[in-house]
Structure 1
Amino acid sequence: MLPYVAALVAVALLWVYLKWQKTSRFWADRGVPHDKPHPIYGSLTFLQKKNPAHFMIDLRNRFQAKYVGIWLFWRPSLVVNSPELARNILTKHADNFRNRYLGSGPSDPIGALNLFTVNDPTWSWLRRRLTSMFTSAKLKALQGLFVKKSKELVTRIDSGLEAKKDIEIRNMFADYTTDVIGAAAFGLHCDATLTGESPMRTVTKSFMEYSYYRGLNWIAIFFFPELVETFRFRFFPKTAEDYFKKVYKAIVKERGYNPNSEPKDLLDALLKMKHEAIENNEEISDDLVIAQAAVFLQGGFDTSAVMLSYLTYELAFHQEAQEKMYQELLEAKNKLGPDQEFDGAFLSELPYLNAVMKESLRKYPPMGWLDRISEHEYQVDDDLTIPAGTPVYVNAVGMHFDPEFFPEPDKFIPERFLPENMKDNLAFAYMPFGEGPRNCIGMRFAHRAIWYALSTIFLKYKVFPKPNAKKPHEIVAEKNAIFLMPGEDIYVDFVPRN
């Protein structure tokens, strides 16, 4: 018996060895630059040691090639560093790259069915129906909400100054964005901006917890989806899912559904979507509806809060840029008059405010890479063809730090995004919200959340670094997260203007 077992083991080991030899030569055989892969992790040895965005920047800096080969464990994948190739993948040949590589499993329907993770044909069906919630008219109707919550930010800062407390801005901005999205998506009016607490804020705080185990969930979903079902990994924490289901049932019971009324918020739009599907004999589950509400909160509250945090921190260290933005806001406010509030259209026309925001998004894009999977065999260029099923990553953050497109990329220079300085070759080299059919549906909502908070705060305060504070580039990024975000608390000093 033992000789047979030994023979089987030997055959198995030989098969693994030969398989690895073929896999590890994949990119060398195709003349693609690459690092030597690890026999288990492939190119993913950085996971839970550094943020993936920093891995992507390092990859671009070391190879300076239009594409680089990597391995997701044993799966060969391609990282694209060229705007021209990015355009092909995201727009020109989008039909071949309509699906993402990442994904969750049947045991995690809220994680698997949301607009961020789901693939075609469900994705196209959802996107068409949800786009109506982000029109200019719908966003304009939220002006009062943005004005109210941004003023509550000022009240929150005043209270902290009176109590002589240090103000940690990451959590403060997350309180603000949670309130804004809670109202816009669910019609829930919460006071986390003022108090730091609300039932929904409890949920978003759980989103901000990045333990070792939570990191394993993200790793599987983003880089090894086949493992998700085996280990029952989840996109959202279980407590968050339970909360969303409870809120959904309560709101549905309270509101009912009126087919003749226009949706007031995202949940109304989702209910309308469900009833229209039923009328058309299409199957749509409560889980699919709840998944869209959950991902809008997850994707919206933290990305906007993180951007406001990084942006405020950069301005604390760049007083000249801060003063230019203040003077532009002050002039605009004086033109409007003391009784008039900014609206989104007005703020979108302020060049320096928007240059500051764009420069921050360049340095700190929420998700620095765009994953797709090639449906068919695909000719990348004259030198390379990849087989069907190959994951492809468009390295947006790598191009954001490419000196060919952004000279002195490590520096915070808002002037590079002023209209008179904008280069013609930035298309697909600058993609903080993605490009093509699967770009971020909430981009214009995020812009407004940032505009209103910035304009209200910086008209009232000057912001300075704390004594002996770390420089912006010294802030540690969260190593257990997939998105680029601080891995430590961030403090600044707010000084009221005269």
Structure 2
Amino acid sequence: MFSVVLVLFVILLTVLYSSLCLYRYNTYLSTVPKPSCKLSWILGHTVALFNPRDILQVGVDAAIKYGGVIRVLIPPSVTIAITDNEVIQQFFKDSIVKAGDYAFFKPWLGTGLLTNNGQSWKSRRKLLSQCFGSLGLMKDFIKVFETSGRHFMNELESKIDDENLDIIPIMKKYTLNVLCETAMGVSLSSRGTQGDLYIRNIQNICKVMINRFKLPYERIHWIFYFTNDYRTQQRSIKMVNSFFDDIFEEKLRRVDDEMKIDGKRALLDVLIQFHKSSILTKENIRDEVNTFMFGGYDTTAIALSFALYALAYHPDIQEKIIEEQIEIFGSLNSGIETTYGHLQQMKYLELVILETLRLYPPIPYCGRKVIEETDIGKGMVLPTNLSLVISIYGCHHLPKHFREPEKFIPERFETDEILPYSFLPFGFGPRICIGKKFAMLEMKTTLSKIVSNFRISPSKQEFKPQLVPEITLASLNGLRISLEKR
């Protein structure tokens, strides 16, 4: 009986608090445009956003109609959705931090760069910049891309009879293997069933994260603790951390600090040197390696998959990539090992990647929270603790920012003037993705090999992706293409 009363009391407090917040923000934010909605105080914009396949386009249409700053009511909270590049830039004159929803990642990522804030984040960012800014380490990573890429070509060759190939799951498995080898220096295939379990549990954790963002009741921490998702998350985190701990202890037992495996260093090899100097604890390193795995696995797979999908419908662009590859290597499949120098010469391929990231940004939204009252002009003042959503997808699809925004035009990044803070695939400001260079090198290496080995064509069945925003951009029906050996 007591527990029932307690639950009802907590629910009542939650409703009262939510009502106060709604009243405060709707009054305080009355100058911020709000798209009309029926029964606004009860349902807000929930109905308009109910179908996930409509959310992305609804957001773009609203930004075009009402402007780049919009008030969105999804009870029990009010959020400001921003697509205007000038307003986004304005925020870096004022104080904002990551939104509260990033706390969902903390059980797995701890105090890694994604979830950390303040001075602790600044110190860690400065330290890790030494790793991701190291040309020597990047060259070691490229050796992994090269070796893994060759194995991946063999796997793709086994798929050429599939005329309706969903490329996403294959690409996710590939990028996870690459990340595991570059982050920890181990091949998942060499770990047998333990490697398979690691992949499965990483995927389980990501599915739980998606559910927490999608299901309103799971966003409330104390309710989440009673769900099956919570138990799945805890089991999976335990296994993933155990996998890391085993590898960490193996590497720590090395006698020679500079020892490499097959002439290559992994991120963990470098971080262990900080551990031996008492700069980072084992837990600090585990948080950063888990963050690296999470941040680079799904996003890179999604970007590569959408790049192949776009190229399937643009054979002329494929041919331009081929011409560049022949110019760099002398011929297709020359057998020459790809180097950092080769990747720097792939200027047109880089334009293709940038245009893919614009049209299909792997991270469609990011959240921030105002920590000081901020005047953004036009009579709009945003109060302390207000949640913001920066719509990266919206920024990339506004005619104000890009001419013919729905068309795939790689040359725009060579000829057009790109407005500041209108192109944000890696985030923006001081918290821009630290792995940007790593991701670009991996995508260049992979696409170079795929286009040189295969002609990419549309699926033989009629297909149109059903785009939805999850933690990353997703397609409910996959991404279907077909491959033909060159």
**What is the match of residue 23 of structure 2?**
22
- 1:273-352 to structure 2, matched below 5 A, reads 273-276=274-277, 279=278, 286=283, 288-334=284-330, 338=334, 340-352=336-348
2:446 pairs, out of 432, 453, 457, with 453
Change over 3 Å in CA distance of 1:40–1:198 after alignment to 2: same
Computed over aligned residues only, the root mean square deviation of the Cα atoms, in angstroms, reads 3.6
How far apart are 1:84 and its partner, in Å?
1.6
Change over 3 Å in CA distance of 1:16–1:445 after alignment to 2: closer
Change over 3 Å in CA distance of 1:371–1:260 after alignment to 2: farther
How far apart are 1:447 and its partner, in Å?
0.9
Change over 3 Å in CA distance of 1:144–1:17 after alignment to 2: closer
How far apart are 1:395 and its partner, in Å?
2.4
Q: Does 1:495 align with 2:479?
A: no
The letter of the residue matching 2:266 is D
Distance 1:31 1:168 in 2: 42
Deviations, residues 73-95 of structure 1 (Å, cap 9, x unaligned): 33333222221221122x433xx
Describe the SS at the equivalent of 1:464.
strand
1:74 pairs, out of 63, 73, 76, with 76
1:117 pairs, out of 115, 118, 126, with 115
Deviations, residues 245-279 of structure 1 (Å, cap 9, x unaligned): 21222123222267983693233344444454xx4
How far apart are 1:320 and its partner, in Å?
1.2
2:244 pairs, out of 248, 253, 257, with 248
**What is the match of residue 4 of structure 1?**
none
How far apart are 1:484 and its partner, in Å?
0.7
Change over 3 Å in CA distance of 1:463–1:410 after alignment to 2: same
Change over 3 Å in CA distance of 1:31–1:304 after alignment to 2: closer
The question of whether the paired residues in 2 share the 8 Å contact of 1:23 and 1:76 is answered with no
Distance 2:144 2:15 in 1: 64
The letter of the residue matching 2:155 is R
Deviations, residues 95-121 of structure 1 (Å, cap 9, x unaligned): x12443423269x53245332123223
The letter of the residue matching 2:428 is E
Change over 3 Å in CA distance of 1:54–1:124 after alignment to 2: farther
Distance 1:235 1:362 in 2: 37
Change over 3 Å in CA distance of 1:53–1:285 after alignment to 2: farther
Distance 2:147 2:334 in 1: 16
The question of whether the paired residues in 2 share the 8 Å contact of 1:347 and 1:451 is answered with yes
Change over 3 Å in CA distance of 1:226–1:123 after alignment to 2: farther
**What is the match of residue 416 of structure 2?**
422
Distance 2:329 2:188 in 1: 28
**What is the match of residue 179 of structure 1?**
177
Distance 1:363 1:246 in 2: 38
Distance 1:340 1:13 in 2: 63
Distance 1:475 1:238 in 2: 33
Change over 3 Å in CA distance of 1:236–1:388 after alignment to 2: farther
The question of whether the paired residues in 2 share the 8 Å contact of 1:100 and 1:117 is answered with no
How far apart are 1:367 and its partner, in Å?
1.2
How far apart are 1:126 and its partner, in Å?
2.3
Deviations, residues 412-434 of structure 1 (Å, cap 9, x unaligned): 122212x2x131x4221111111
Q: Does 1:168 align with 2:155?
A: no
Change over 3 Å in CA distance of 1:69–1:21 after alignment to 2: closer
Distance 1:224 1:68 in 2: 25
Distance 2:110 2:46 in 1: 23
**What is the match of residue 129 of structure 2?**
131
Change over 3 Å in CA distance of 1:493–1:22 after alignment to 2: closer
Distance 1:357 1:351 in 2: 10
The question of whether the paired residues in 1 share the 8 Å contact of 2:456 and 2:484 is answered with yes
The question of whether the paired residues in 2 share the 8 Å contact of 1:166 and 1:491 is answered with yes
**What is the match of residue 466 of structure 2?**
476
**What is the match of residue 141 of structure 1?**
140
Deviations, residues 173-205 of structure 1 (Å, cap 9, x unaligned): 11221111010111111349xx9x834333344
Which range moves more in the overlay, 311-320 or 379-388? Answer: 379-388
Change over 3 Å in CA distance of 1:105–1:60 after alignment to 2: closer
Which range moves more in the overlay, 344-353 or 228-237? Answer: 228-237
Distance 1:485 1:293 in 2: 24
Which range moves more in the overlay, 53-62 or 318-327? Answer: 53-62
Q: Does 1:157 align with 2:182?
A: no
Percent of matched pairs sharing the same residue: 21
Gaps of at least 5 residues in structure 1 are 1-7
The letter of the residue matching 1:422 is D
Describe the SS at the equivalent of 2:71.
strand
**What is the match of residue 83 of structure 1?**
85
The question of whether the paired residues in 2 share the 8 Å contact of 1:181 and 1:301 is answered with yes
The letter of the residue matching 1:395 is S
The letter of the residue matching 1:496 is K
- 1:342-381 to structure 2, matched below 5 A, reads 342-381=338-377
TM normalised by structure 1 equals 0.81
Deviations, residues 287-342 of structure 1 (Å, cap 9, x unaligned): x4323222221221111111111110111111111111222222222189935333
The question of whether the paired residues in 1 share the 8 Å contact of 2:53 and 2:466 is answered with no
Q: Does 1:59 align with 2:62?
A: yes
Which range moves more in the overlay, 252-261 or 177-186? Answer: 252-261
**Number of aligned residue pairs:** 462
The question of whether the paired residues in 2 share the 8 Å contact of 1:405 and 1:426 is answered with yes
Change over 3 Å in CA distance of 1:152–1:235 after alignment to 2: farther
Distance 1:314 1:245 in 2: 37
Distance 2:168 2:381 in 1: 44
The question of whether the paired residues in 2 share the 8 Å contact of 1:257 and 1:272 is answered with no
**What is the match of residue 431 of structure 1?**
424
The letter of the residue matching 1:469 is E
How far apart are 1:144 and its partner, in Å?
1.4
Distance 1:453 1:393 in 2: 32
Distance 1:250 1:50 in 2: 42
Change over 3 Å in CA distance of 1:76–1:27 after alignment to 2: farther
Deviations, residues 183-237 of structure 1 (Å, cap 9, x unaligned): 0111111349xx9x834333344356x4xx76441247xx999722442376993
Distance 1:346 1:242 in 2: 41
TM normalised by structure 2 equals 0.83
The question of whether the paired residues in 1 share the 8 Å contact of 2:355 and 2:409 is answered with yes
**What is the match of residue 406 of structure 1?**
402
Change over 3 Å in CA distance of 1:120–1:228 after alignment to 2: farther
The question of whether the paired residues in 2 share the 8 Å contact of 1:178 and 1:200 is answered with no
Gaps of at least 5 residues in structure 2 are 1-8
Distance 1:235 1:140 in 2: 40
How far apart are 1:243 and its partner, in Å?
2.4
Describe the SS at the equivalent of 2:423.
coil
Distance 2:257 2:36 in 1: 57
Change over 3 Å in CA distance of 1:67–1:165 after alignment to 2: closer
Change over 3 Å in CA distance of 1:71–1:172 after alignment to 2: same
Describe the SS at the equivalent of 1:414.
coil
